[in-house]
Chains A and B, each alone.
Chain A
Amino acid sequence: MAVDTVPVTTTPAIRQQAPPRRSRETLTAWLFILPSLIGFLIFTAGPVVAAGVISLLNWNLFSAPTWAGLHNFARLGPDPTFWSALGNTVYFTLVSVPLTILVSLALALLLNQGLKRIAVFRSLLLLPYATITVAVAFVWIWLYIPHDGLVNTVLGWFGIDGPSWLISDTWAMPALILMSVWKSFGFGMVVFLAGLQAIPQQLYEAGRVDGTSPWNSFRHITLPMLSPALFFVVVTSVIGSFQVFDQALIMTNGGPGSRTTTLVMYIYRTGFENYDQGYAAAQSLVLFAFIVIITAGQFLFQRKLVHYDN
């Protein structure tokens, strides 16, 4: 009694022995997934689990590891460099993310004013985003040269005596932040531009009929309609700035003192300069925990502030 009601037309001999449709689809699916899955298990999922194990070991990579239990996590408490690296990373994030968002949003609004040559300006403004961080970090060192560098020369025109940016305790971090905002605002700008262009114009026309002021239509139409894009840019920028490394390594190498040592730089130093892999793994898991907590917080916050029209 044939369970399969589909008439078999070609190569009946093979068809009869083939497994039923459902398990064939399962087999096909696994064949499609396999190349990605093998790589994913070996190089992503496996290492995540391994990071947990390594964080429980004393290990310098060269001699056999010994069991450390939670000792590596306990070491974090009395380690001033860890706390200052965490503080620096939080400082960087708290200043650079809002600043990047403001600049991206302002430029997206400017470009969205019915400009004819919008594509030209958009491309040119995206240029910093398309440069190599390491390469432009060197340019910024040059721009920040104390006394006569371009940044201080321009400040001088306004009668301001500029600081010795990258070697100043106070100004090294703001200098890094300024460079980072310059490097990354383009991405947010494109996302916001896409969002702005998706807002139906009738909404604004209706507002105009009611005599709504530009500020009020921005607050009550643009911002709510743009909130999904804003949320996306905030989440990705926060995750990105918690992982800041390249520009800090090149421009300040974490200094002066440890004023610009970020968490990732400290993990790199611990693991690959001091060969203290267990401790570095513990730090990376704490960084992970921070990112999860902050992202989860943002998702909770999102329910209140982000408007999706379903």
Chain B
Amino acid sequence: MTTEIRQKLVVFTCFLVTAITLIPVVMMVLVAFQSDAESMAAKPSFWPSSWHPENLTRAFDLVPLGKYLLNTVYFAGGTTILETVTAALAAYAFARLNFPGRSWLFGIYLATLMIPSQVTLIPQFVLVAKLHGIDTWPGMILPHAFTAIGVFLLRQFFLGIPRDYEEAARLDGANRWQAFVRVIVPLAVPAIATLAVFKFIGQWNNLLWPLIISNSDATRTASVGLQVFQDTNGTQWNLLLMAATVTTIPLIVLFFLTQRWFVRGITMSGLGGR
């Protein structure tokens, strides 16, 4: 097989595989624009025979989708900011400062990495309920804002930053805090951004925790909201999938904007091998 034919075959296969992979996403958007009758017909059609962009406003009228999306931004944004800031601070101490008990404390952090979130689910719920945190933002955000994984990932990265950089700043009279803010954090932006993107996507996706803690429109997130959509209106596929599209698009946009970091973060953390 010549290289040219081989190359064409590779490109063709890539096109084919990508096309098949994207079918569900394309269908979500196409059905979102179908008429009520067409989307609920016993024999589903794929290409809309007439386009109904007004489905967008109808979806927003049927459920407070805008509010749900804003709530999702609060929930995902709040957990992400808290997690990134506290994890960066702690990771710095674990990577750079000497103190008695450092290794055992870090060991405890590490040990909790393997614990499935379902183990902490019930006690967290009980705790939030006792503190009257059901359906409040602190109740939604705080339990998901401090995880060991962030500390672990950032510590890994900080360990790789040459000590000389920081020592130079220290000799110039910078204290630990200044060295952290002016030297370490700027150098670690790709790693911190990777953690933030991972966390944000994860929490935008989170269904179980908002399902348990949020019980009104005040805190209900989009992933829970989609369910309410189905419950209250039967399965009106065009509006449901319009809502699903609207809920998914911000995440896809964010993902495309930050993918370079994301891919680089995976490479840098050494997960890909060397």
Contact = CB atoms under 8 A, between A and B. Distances in A.
Interface string B236-274: 010011011101100110011001001100110001111
B14 A115 contact: yes
B5 interface: no
Interface stretch (A80-88, A91-99, A163-171, A186-194): A186-194
A29 B98 contact: yes
A30 B127 CA distance: 26
Interface stretch (B54-62, B86-94, B161-169, B185-193): B86-94
A205 interface: no
Nearest to A9: B173
A25 B13 contact: no
Interface in A51-106: 51, 54, 61
B183 interface: no
A142 B272 CA distance: 36
A12 interface: no
A280 interface: yes
B63 interface: no
Secondary structure at the B interface, as helix, strand, loop or mixed, is helix
B273 A271 contact: no
B17 A44 contact: no
A159 interface: no
A192 B119 CA distance: 31
A39 interface: yes
A282 to B, nearest CB: 10
A295 B123 contact: no
Nearest to B128: A43
A37 B259 CA distance: 30
Contact of B274 (A47, A245, A280, A309): A309
B201 A281 contact: no
Contacts of A145: 44
A128 B33 CA distance: 21
Nearest to A127: B25
B81 interface: no
Contacts of B66: none
B207 A110 contact: no
Given A36-B87, A37-B90, A295-B114, A61 B129 contact: yes
B274 A198 contact: yes
Interface in B58-106: 82, 85-87, 89-90, 92-94, 97-100, 102, 105
A35 B44 contact: no
Contact of A48 (B119, B226, B266): B119
B234 to A, nearest CB: 13
A204 interface: no
A39 B126 contact: no
Contacts of B204: 132
Q: Max chain B CB contacts within 10 Å: which of A22, A30, A47, A113?
A: A47
A135 B144 CA distance: 22
Contact of A131 (B94, B115, B248, B256): B248
A139 interface: yes
B123 A51 contact: yes
B274 to A, nearest CB: 5
Interface of A: 22, 25-26, 28-30, 32-33, 35-40, 42-48, 50-51, 54, 61, 107, 110-111, 113-115, 121-128, 130-136, 138-140, 142-143, 145, 147-150, 182, 190-199, 225-226, 228-229, 232, 239, 242-243, 245-246, 249-250, 264, 267-268, 271-272, 277, 280-281, 284-285, 287-288, 291-292, 295, 309
The 6 closest A-B pairs by CB, nearest first: A194-B272, A39-B146, A47-B123, A135-B244, A36-B90, A50-B123
Interface of B: 6-7, 10-11, 13-14, 17-18, 21-25, 27-28, 31, 42-44, 46, 82, 85-87, 89-90, 92-94, 97-100, 102, 105, 108-109, 112, 114-127, 129, 142-148, 151, 176-177, 180, 201, 204-205, 207-208, 212, 222-223, 226-227, 230, 237, 240-241, 243-245, 247-248, 251-252, 255-256, 259, 262-263, 266-267, 271-274
Given A45-B108, A128-B24, A132-B222, 19 more contacts: A32-B97, A32-B176, A47-B127, A115-B10, A132-B205, A132-B247, A134-B247, A138-B226, A143-B27, A191-B266, A195-B273, A197-B267, A197-B272, A198-B267, A199-B273, A246-B208, A281-B122, A287-B116, A288-B119
